[in-house]
Structure 1
Amino acid sequence: MFSAKIGGIGSYVPEWEVTNNDLEKVMDTSDEWIQERTGIQSRRYGKKHKETSTTMGARAAEIAIDRAGIDKEDIDFIIFATLSPDYYFPGCGVLLQREMGITNKEVGALDIRNQCSGFIYALSVGDQFIKTGMYQNILVVGAEMHSMGLDFSTRGRNVSVIFGDGAGAVVLQRSTREGQGILTTHLHADGTYAEKLALINPGAHGGYHAEKMGEDTDFGYPDTKYGEMFVNKKMIDDAMVYPQMEGQFVFKLAVQKFPEVIGEALEKTGLKTSDIDMFVPHQANLRISQFVQRRLGLKDEQVWNNIQKYGNTTAASIPIALCEAWEAGAVKDGDLVCLAAFGSGFTWGSALIRW
C-alpha cells in the first residue's frame, strides 16, 4: 500500500512585523522578559479587515498547488486546521474553497479543531484518504489569525506575547515510490485538564467555566437571559473572552508528551533518533523545543525552529517551519522528517515522513 506524499508545500506570513519592543508600548513587558520565557523576538500580524485565517490560508495553498504541478481544479478534498476561524460557523474549509474559486467541483471540505496539533491530525486524516484511493489531491491547510483575539494589556501579556499570524499548506498525493511519503502518524488526546489552556467564553455552556454550569447557579449569571449567556458585558469586563493558559502546567506536560509520541513513531517504523534528518516541532515555545532536542540527543542542524521571528502560529506553525526548511535546502529528497505537536485539549501527535 502506497502512502501519501507531500507533493507541494507553501506558506504565507503577513508583512506587518511586531517586535517585542513594539509590545512594550502597550503592556508592561520587555524584550528580555519575552525572550527569556519563550525565545520569541518578533511575530507577524495580519491586516485588520483585510486578512483572515481563510485569506492567508488561500495564499499558502496557491503556492503549494503551484509547486505540486497541478491546477486548483485538481484538488478533490480540503482539510483546514485552525483555532481562529473567520466565523463561529461555518468553518474555514468552505470559505477557503470560495476564496480560491474552486466551488465548481463541490469538493468536500473538512474542518479540524485540534489547535496546535491540528496540522498533524489533518495530515493523518489526509493520509488515510490517499491510502484508500478515495482522493488523489488533498489540500491540507493550517492557518491562524490570533491577533484579532488577544488581550493587548498587561493583564493578558502571558498569552498575548506568544502568538502570531500566518498560514501553511501542503498538497497530499499518492506516492509513486515505495517507502516514500508519510510512513506513520500517531494521534493522542486527554481532555482531563482542558481548561488549563482554553478560550472558554463565549460558548454554548453559558458561563465562565464548565464547573460553574448548573441549574442551581443559573450558569453563574442570575437573571441572565439565555441569549445573553453566550456573550455579555460581564464576560468582556472580566476579560473572559480571551485565551486562558496555565503556562507551567502546559510546559511540563508538553516536554513529557513530545518525546513519547516521537518515540512511538520511531518504534513503529523500526527507526532510531539518529535516523532523523530534520525534526520540525510545533513552534510553541523555544524552551520546549530545546528541551526536547536535548532529550532526543539531536544536533542543532537536525532541528528547525523559527518561533523567534513568527511566534506561535498554532496549526500553521509546523507547515510554515517545514516550508521554510525545505526552501532553505535543509529538507532534501530521501530525508527522514519528523513532525510533532502538543497543544490545547490536550492533544498531541507525530508524523514521520520520507521526503
Structure 2
Amino acid sequence: MTYSRIAGLGFYVPETMVTNHDLEKYMDTSDEWIRERSGIETRHFFTEGKDTVSKMGARASEVAMEKAGVTPEEIDFIVFATLSPDYNFPGSGVLLQRELPFRNIGALDVRTQCTGFIYGLSVADQFIKSGMYKNVLVVGSEIQSNILEKSTRNRDFAVLFGDGAGAAVVQATDNEDSRILSTHLHSEGKYAEDLLLEHPGSNLKNRMSTKIIEEGKHLPYMKGSAVFKHAVTRFPEAINEALDANNMTKDDIDMLVPHQANLRISEAVRRKMGLDEDKVYNNIQRYGNTTAATIPIALSELDEAGRLKKGDVICLAAFGSGFTWASCLLKW
C-alpha cells in the first residue's frame, strides 16, 4: 500500500509586528477589548514591495523542502490555498511555480478559505495514494491586512487578521505507522452570506462604485454570533468523524491543531471535546487569524519545538467561510 505523510514543514511571517496598542491609533478599540473577544495580542503585516502571497509561500516552501530533504526539482505538484491571491487571475500557484526552480509541474489553487490547507492536504493525499505523484507541496499563504479597513466601522474584522504563510511537503510512504490516516471535507453553502467579501464581485455590471465603497460593501462581512455558533458545533463533529473513521476516541489524540480563528472558539471546542489544555495548540495570540496559513504555521512551530513525536496522533480541524469545515487525522 502507498500512503502519504507530511515529510517537511515551514512557515514565514512578515517582519512588521502590529500590536493591539498600534491598532488603537486607527479605531475605537483597546488591547483589553481585543484580547477579551479574540485572545489576539499581536499579528504581522506585510511589507509592500517585499512580501507577496506567492513570495511568502515560496519562503515557507523552501524551509519545508529543506526539512523534507527534497529539492524543487523533485516536487511533482503544487496545491496553493489562499483567499487573497496576488491577482484575480491567474492563481498564486503558478506564481509560486515560477518563484523557485520547479519543473513545469501542475499548480492547483484552492479557495475554501479557512479550511484551505486541510482541503489541500486531502488533494495531495489522494494524488499520492493513487500513485500519480510522490511529492506534493501544499501551501497556505495570506495577505489580509490590506483587505481590511482599519477603522471603527470595520474593527470587528480589522483586529482579527494577520499575514503569513505555511507549507508542507506531502510525500509517498509505505509506512502505515507514520502517515495521513484520513481527511474529511464538508460544506453548507446556505450560510455563505454570513461570512463573505462580496465586492468586487461578478454579479454586478459595475464591479466597484462609489456607493459600494461608501456603504462599506467592499469590506469583509461577518455575522459573528452565527459563525461562533456553527464553529463550536462543526469543529467537534469533524474531529469525531475523523476519530470514528479510524476506530479511535478523543483519548487517542496527542495534539489537536485547530484553525486559529478565535481563541474563544478553540477553548469552547477544547471543553466540548474534553481535552486537556496541553493537547490543544494555539498561537493566534501572536499571529492573529492567517486563514489558510494558520494550521501549517502552527504545525511548523510544534515541529520546531520538538513537540511532535514519532507515532503521535495529530488531529487537524478547521471551520470557516462557505461555510466549510474539515478534519485530518494523521500519525506523525
SS at match of 2:236: helix
Q: Is the 8 A contact 2:2 2:131 kept in 1?
A: no
* Aligned residue identity for 2:51: E
Residue equivalent to 1:217: none
Residue equivalent to 1:223: none
Percent of paired sites with the same residue: 58
Distance in 2 between residues matched to 1:143 and 1:303, nearest whole Å: 23
Residue by residue over 1:177-200, the C-alpha shift from the partner in whole angstroms, topping out at 9 and shown as x without a partner, is 123211010000000010110000
Distance in 2 between residues matched to 1:243 and 1:201, nearest whole Å: 9
Residue by residue over 1:243-287, the C-alpha shift from the partner in whole angstroms, topping out at 9 and shown as x without a partner, is 111111100000000000100010000011011111000000000
Distance in 2 between residues matched to 1:5 and 1:175, nearest whole Å: 7
* Aligned residue identity for 1:45: F
TM-score (norm 2): 0.99
Equivalent residue runs for 1:1-355 within 5 Å: 1-102=1-102, 105-206=103-204, 226=205, 229-355=206-332
Superposed displacement of residue 330, structure 1: 1.3
Q: Which runs of 5+ in 2 are unaligned?
A: none
Distance in 1 between residues matched to 2:173 and 2:253, nearest whole Å: 20
Distance in 2 between residues matched to 1:49 and 1:192, nearest whole Å: 39
* Aligned residue identity for 1:288: I
Superposed displacement of residue 49, structure 1: 2.8
Q: Which entry has the higher C-alpha Rg, 1 or 2? A: 1
Q: Which runs of 5+ in 1 are unaligned?
A: 207-225
Superposed displacement of residue 148, structure 1: 1.5
Q: Is the 8 A contact 1:137 1:172 kept in 2?
A: yes
Q: Is the 8 A contact 1:7 1:170 kept in 2?
A: yes
Q: How many residues get paired?
A: 332
SS at match of 2:7: strand
Distance in 2 between residues matched to 1:41 and 1:176, nearest whole Å: 43
* Aligned residue identity for 1:168: G
* Aligned residue identity for 1:91: G
Distance in 1 between residues matched to 2:101 and 2:72, nearest whole Å: 8
TM-score (norm 1): 0.92
Superposed displacement of residue 322, structure 1: 0.8
* Aligned residue identity for 1:169: A
CA RMSD of aligned residues (A): 0.8
Distance in 2 between residues matched to 1:348 and 1:133, nearest whole Å: 27
Superposed displacement of residue 237, structure 1: 2.1
Superposed displacement of residue 36, structure 1: 0.5
Residue by residue over 1:189-212, the C-alpha shift from the partner in whole angstroms, topping out at 9 and shown as x without a partner, is 000010110000001011xxxxxx
Distance in 2 between residues matched to 1:49 and 1:343, nearest whole Å: 30
Moved over 3 A (4+): none
Q: Is the 8 A contact 1:278 1:330 kept in 2?
A: no
SS at match of 1:149: coil
